[in-house]
């Protein structure tokens, strides 16, 4: 299975809240898991990424938690701001290919 | 330098017509990718170029879709006999070299194709 399942489809939080977006995969051959942020009218931009041999990675206010045994990973946004309002996509990379498999996206709205 | 650019930003056409979508990658990037993003979905891989050659076209949905990159820089995605189901945002991305980790793909803003 080369799918990545993402939830929730949409999310609304207050400023300062910690939205959490979850992804799950089936194929244990996936070897790299990036998160992309997409603003309306723009292409996706790489936000943060993790390899499966690491359980957590932090970059600024963004944290990925990775659970290899459960084949799940999640994005946490600390102290969320209205400027974080965007669509977030998880993705997975399959070794030996040059393409990413994307989740269906989560539309995040952070209220001021 | 400039990022990945795509033209046109919007294209409206009628069912059965032929369209061309253009991508200008970041200068010096050898790898170029096309993705299709349908409404409410994530990008879906179409084709990947390494230099001038299509190294992986496994994502092209059918033979109405074709892409070229004749000089290893600009790429054109061509769609013949367009159908309403082809309506989507077509994204182009480029990377310095091909591959996954450490070879970030930089995306353009996309071309929104609407087939009436």
For A3-50, the pLDDT digits (tens) are 899 999 999 999 999 999 999 999 999 999 999 999 999 999 999 999
Instruction: Identify all chain B residues contacting A51, using CB atoms and an 8 Å cutoff.
Output: 101
Cis peptide before A8 (omega within 30 of 0): yes
Instruction: Identify all chain B residues contacting A59, using CB atoms and an 8 Å cutoff.
Output: none
| Number of other residues whose CB lies within 10 A of the CB of residue B42 | 22
CA of A23, closest CA in chain B: separation in Å?
13
Q: Mean pLDDT per 10-residue run, chain B (116 residues)? A: 90 98 96 94 93 91 96 96 97 89 90 97
| Number of other residues whose CB lies within 10 A of the CB of residue B100 | 23
Chain A residues at the B interface, defined by Cβ less than 8 Å, are: 6, 9, 31-32, 41-46, 49, 51, 89, 91, 93, 95, 97-105
**Paired strand residues for A106:** A88
Q: In this complex, which of A41, A44, A97 lies closest to B56 when CB atoms are compared?
A: A97
Q: How confident is the model at residue A26, as a pLDDT?
A: 93
Q: In this complex, which of B56, B106, B107 lies closest to A99 when CB atoms are compared?
A: B56
Closest CA to A2 of A77, A101, A108, A107: A101
User: Which are the contacts of B84, defined by CB distance < 8 A and separation ≥ 6?
Assistant: B15, B115, B116
Q: How confident is the model at residue A98, as a pLDDT?
A: 80
Residues A54-105: tens digit of each pLDDT: 999 999 999 999 999 999 999 999 999 999 999 999 999 988 888 889 999 9
Given a cut of 80, whether residue A2 has pLDDT beyond it is no
Instruction: Identify all chain A residues contacting B104, using CB atoms and an 8 Å cutoff.
Output: 46
Q: How confident is the model at residue A1, as a pLDDT?
A: 61
User: Which are the contacts of B45, defined by CB distance < 8 A and separation ≥ 6?
Assistant: A99, A100, A101, B33, B34, B35, B58, B59
Q: How confident is the model at residue B1, as a pLDDT?
A: 53
Q: Name the residue with tokens 């990037």.
A: B29
Cβ–Cβ < 8 Å for B56, A97? yes
Q: How confident is the model at residue B62, as a pLDDT?
A: 94
Q: In this complex, which of A93, A102, A103 lies closest to B100 when CB atoms are compared?
A: A93
**Interchain CB distance below 8 Å, B101 and A49:** yes
**Interchain CB distance below 8 Å, A44 and B107:** yes
């Amino acid at each position: 299975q080369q799918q990545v399942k993402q939830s929730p489809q949409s999310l609304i939080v207050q400023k300062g809240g910690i939205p959490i977006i979850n992804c799950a995969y089936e194929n244990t051959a996936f070897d790299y898991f990036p998160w992309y942020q997409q603003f309306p009218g723009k292409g996706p931009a790489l936000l943060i990424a993790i390899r499966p041999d690491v359980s957590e990675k932090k970059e600024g206010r963004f944290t990925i938690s990775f659970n290899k045994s459960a084949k799940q990973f999640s994005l946490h946004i600390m102290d969320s701001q209205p400027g974080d309002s965007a669509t977030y996509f998880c993705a997975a990379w399959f070794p030996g290919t040059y393409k990413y498999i994307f989740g269906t996206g989560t539309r995040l709205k952070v209220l001021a | 330098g400039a990022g990945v650019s795509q033209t046109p930003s919007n294209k409206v056409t009628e069912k059965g017509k032929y369209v061309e979508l253009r991508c200008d990658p970041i200068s010096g990037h050898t790898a170029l990718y096309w993705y299709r993003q349908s409404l409410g979905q994530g990008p879906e891989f179409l084709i990947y170029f390494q230099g001038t050659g299509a190294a992986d076209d496994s994502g092209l949905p059918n033979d109405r879709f074709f892409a070229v990159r004749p000089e290893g820089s600009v790429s054109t995605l061509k769609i013949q006999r367009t159908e309403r189901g082809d309506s989507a945002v077509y994204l182009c991305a480029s990377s310095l070299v091909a591959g996954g980790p450490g070879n970030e793909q930089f995306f353009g803003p996309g071309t929104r194709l609407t087939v009436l």
